[in-house]
Structure 1
Amino acid sequence: MLMISVIGILGLCIGIIALRLFYLSSATKGESIAKYYRPKSALLVLDIQNDTLGIPLYGNTEPLMANINKAIEYANDTNMEIIYTKQEFTGHPLDSLLTGGMYQANSEGADLYDELSIQSDNIFSKLRTDAFSVELFENYLIKNEISTLYIVGADASACVYKTALGGINRGYRVIILEDSIFSVKRDKLNTMLNKYQSKGIEISNMKNFIQTQTINF
């Protein structure tokens, strides 16, 4: 009986952890955006924080950071909306376990990366991988009649992917700059990019982004 009780408790704990992980990592759904008369684009910079740049699996992050900052500068020069997100956990007992203590709210690790170019005050904190889980973020996009999102940041198989899906689920045009996204699974990045495209997410790069913004501007 004792063994059965222990197994039951372990099963319950595993189930609770699995439910929490699913909640944190799932893409959200919402109402389709309106057809705007003059739709705008925005550059969305996902989770470039001190903890992010401290992940050793990313290897040499300098080229990626150079591209991300370059995208931000071009967006700023062409008056494109620039939006930043921060992953922040606020005290749920399972979150520290699942994240290894990273991205804790009000910690230095959760701050935007020291060398990240900050060109706007549009900074949204999120608990879940999908930025669309934040009502203030979604409302900002609607208020500013944004219909196209260019996404850079971290991570290709988590927040980038799930936020992109959240956008697709609402009718946004979503474009990933492939040379400006982090991935701990670098050997599987091409597989992820193919997965993006199968979901209707577009793939571009810094060169095309700059050319497009220069023409539109």
Structure 2
Amino acid sequence: MKTKNKRSNLRMILISIIGILVLCIGIIALRFVYLSSATKGDSIAKYDSPKSALLVTDIQNDTLGISEYGNTEPLMANINTAIKYANDSEMEIIYVKQEFMKNSLDLLLSGGMYEADSDGADLYNELSVQSDNVFSKLRSDAFSSDHFENYLIENEIDTLYIVGADASGCVYKTALGGINRGYRVIVLDDSLFSVKENALNKMLVKYQTNGIEITNIKDFIQTRD
């Protein structure tokens, strides 16, 4: 009888442990989906004198430390060139960066990268910073930041040129967030980092399917001259 009770208790303990593990996995999965999803919002107004902005996404010390990116110099040269021409033409330049609170689940999910106020979360030391327009975000989509979205509205911006990282993640989700609100969104394909380099062309097709336009650094400069 005692043996049977021990087996029954052990079974209940195992069931409880499995239930807790399933619950934890479910919470983590839901949180990951939330952090990586594109947001939706109100459509922007029709401005009398709409402006364009260059959006530099997640070019941070932790980002450029990802080994899969390999030689980062060519892409960084293109990004800094885009920033220079945007600055010379008095185009709005906006920087967004990922930041997670210390000891948070989100920081754990990121593998410890982008801890708020850390050197890793700072803008990359070789990035040309030509404005004070720097916004932090918790989710992949920059539009999850109210400060960022309000800045666009207050400055009557309706067109976003996007460069940065990563083509399959934050750049794509931010672009979708813009499309969902009625912005014209254009990415510079030779100024995008992609962990999966061989998947970049497939992503660019996906961009266009969702109404996101594609250009390159050469054409971007010509449009600003």
TM-score category, normalised to shorter length: over 0.9
TM score, norm. by length of structure 2 = 0.94
Give the 5 Å matches for 1:90-109: 90-91=101-102, 93-109=104-120
Deviations 1:175-217 (A, max 9, x none): 0000001000101000100000110000110011001111xxx
Q: Alpha-carbon deviation of 1:3?
A: 2.2
1:145 pairs with one of 144, 153, 156: 156
Match of 1:188 among 199, 213, 217: 199
Deviation for aligned residue 1:38: 1.0
Cα distance in 2 between the residues matched to 1:196 and 1:91 = 33
The reply on whether 1:17 has 2:28 as its aligned counterpart is: yes
Indicate the residue corresponding to 2:41 in structure 1: 30
Q: Does the aligned pair in 1 maintain the 2:101–2:107 contact within 8 Å?
A: no
Q: Return the TM-score normalized by structure 1.
A: 0.97
Count of equivalent residues: 214
For 2:29, the aligned partner's letter is A
Q: Residue in 1 aligned with 2:52? A: 41
2:94 counterpart letter in structure 1: I
Q: Structure 1 residue 91: deviation in Å?
A: 3.1
SS at match of 2:120: helix
- Equivalent AA in structure 1 for residue 109 of structure 2: L
Aligned to 2:13: 2
Aligned to 1:79: 90
User: Among 192, 205, 209, which residue is 2:220 paired with?
Assistant: 209
- Whole-Å separation in 2 of the counterparts to 1:64 and 1:195: 21
Residues in 2 aligned to 1:99 and 1:213: alpha-carbon distance in whole angstroms: 37
Q: CA deviation at 1:111?
A: 0.4
Q: 1:92 offset after TM fit, Å? A: 5.5
The gaps in structure 2 that reach 5 residues or longer are 1-11
1:112 maps to 123
- The residue identity in structure 2 corresponding to 1:37 is D
Report the residue type matching 2:197 in the other structure: R
SS of match in other structure, 1:177 = strand
Q: Alpha-carbon deviation of 1:96?
A: 2.5
Structure 1 counterpart SS, 2:167: coil
For 2:102 and 2:23, the matched residues in 1 are separated by: 21
Across the aligned residues of Structure 1 and Structure 2, the Cα RMSD in angstroms comes to 0.8
8 Å contact 2:55–2:160 — kept in the other structure? yes
Question: Which residue identity does 1:57 align to in structure 2?
Answer: E
Structure 2 residue aligned with 1:58: 69
Q: What does the per-residue CA deviation read over 1:71-110, in whole Å, with 9 as the maximum and x for residues that have no partner?
A: 0000000000000011000136312221111100010000
